[in-house]
Structure 1
Amino acid sequence: MNLKSLEILLAIDRSGSFAEAGRQVGLSQPAISMQIKGLEGELGVELFDRSVRPVALTDAARAMLEPVRAIVGLVELLHGLASGPPPGAGNLRLGAVPTAAAGWLPGAVTALGARRPGTRVEVVEDDCAGLLRSVSSGDLDAAVVPGPVAPGTEVTRVPLLTERVVLLTATTGATGGAGLPVLCSKGERALGAAARHLGGARRPVVHLDSIEVVLGLVARGMGVALLPEGALPVPLPVEVAVRPLPDPRATRTLWLVHRVDGLAPDLARELVAALRDTAANRAARIEGTRRGADVPAARPVHATAG
């Protein structure tokens, strides 16, 4: 398997056509087709449905996209480290709540590395209150946190996206998981508030640190979960079903917060762009893999900083 074939797969996903992907990577369309055929032969799966126009990625190809992006990003990072940091590169200490760190944040870090080769990003997970304290003290350069975020004189806040909170149950269980405890990620007020809209008998709410533990308990029928849609793995385990909540107000907005004097303006702009673009792409992939659940995708927010 060669790196060029993986780069071509990503280029076709971005552009939607073999011809445009060829222009992006500097190869002819026949060469593109040959590379994809070779990759399919090596993997033993078809990556594109060629019976439709334009060609469409198969489920197997969509499942590969995130790992492929990570591989290509790591190789680009190694090249950047070998050649030394370019002007404007540096270190970025970025905090995030677990539901953001488990979802689209890794892809955003890779995208930022492509925009600013040589920038080294250290990601720190914490709850919202801890992240805000770390940004205020200067221990973190920036953090991705759920709102509401109060404006301040020393801290800038930029809205990133608004997404639905969804209910997760075991595929074979009752629709609402009646009587089971509600599992939420720690430190997210929107998730705790959404738990009150499930109706029925009062049930315990359990706050956990790990998204993987939450999904494992749901799959075994030991609880139902409330998670932001962007935190869901793609594809979702077959043992877990996504169900919309009846209250359309069950959403959360993610914000980027950083000290006014903590980030260079160009780095702040590129970080916001990488976060928004990656979140929107992930939302589109989740929408494409959804099976029967009428759950709206995340909505990027483009308001000005406050």
Structure 2
Amino acid sequence: MNDGQEAFRRFAKQIRTVGGGSGGPGPKGLFAGSGLLIALVAGGFALNASLFNVDGGHRAIKYSRIHGVKEDVYNEGTHLMIPWFETPIIFDIRAKPRNIASLTGTKDLQMVNITCRVLSRPSTTGLPTIYRELGKDYDERVLPSIVNEVLKSVVAQFNASQLITQREHVSRLVRENLTERASRFNLVLDDVSITHVAFSTEFTHAVEAKQVAQQTALRAAYLVDQAIQEKQSIIVRANGEAKSAELVGEALRKNKGFLELRRLEAARDIATLLSGSQNKVMLDSQSLLLNVAGEDAQDLLKTQK
């Protein structure tokens, strides 16, 4: 604070000295002091008008009233220029996203709506050319036209179904062609991607009907296969039962004891069920609760009685 006051006093003393010494200010000294102040103020304005700032993420070029647009590109920071003769032109070089929709036709004459997302920025070295040929609204002038052209040329190479099954391949072709076209206008594309694909209502319904028909055909084939398997199962089971009956008949012809064995097995199962039941069963005592005796055994029991 004291240093500021001291500097102000020295400045006032110099003005008084220029204006005519320590005595009262005369007309000549007054005009001289005013002239110094005006010179200082004018110098400040001139210095301020001779400087321009370039913010982060921006670049600048100069337009000269004598030479036109200069080729020099100025980076971030503060730079000098000649007031009135030169004008700075600031460009934003940060990547900007843009969604562009296009209605185009496929190889099989199906109409499809495609939305392409483009992340673009101007080439730093090409800023003077961009300003001379396109202006500062370069993206509005270039991107919609070249994106539509590239999408139409690429999509026309594929059928509607291939746009879905080969989507990555389609995106790669669009990216390569669009990057090449944009480079002719000094534009850099950091990313190109297809974000939305929509077909006409008629095509969508046709695809759904085709899917339903395919599912129905698969179900019918499954039912036919199931019927064949059931038929084979019935044949195998019938053959097994016939073979079993044949073997039983042959065993009965060779030995009647086989039939008695089967009776005993059946009686054992019946006895097991009756023993676990709460119902009371009255049987002949001679049969030991099981009527398993054959005709010969029954005749023998009657004789004994």
Computing the radius of gyration over CA atoms, which structure comes out larger, 1 or 2?
2
TM-score between both structures, scaled by the size of structure 2: 0.19
Structure with more relative contact order (C-alpha pairs < 8 Å, separation 6 or more): 1
Structure with more helix by fraction: 2
TM-score between both structures, scaled by the size of structure 1: 0.19
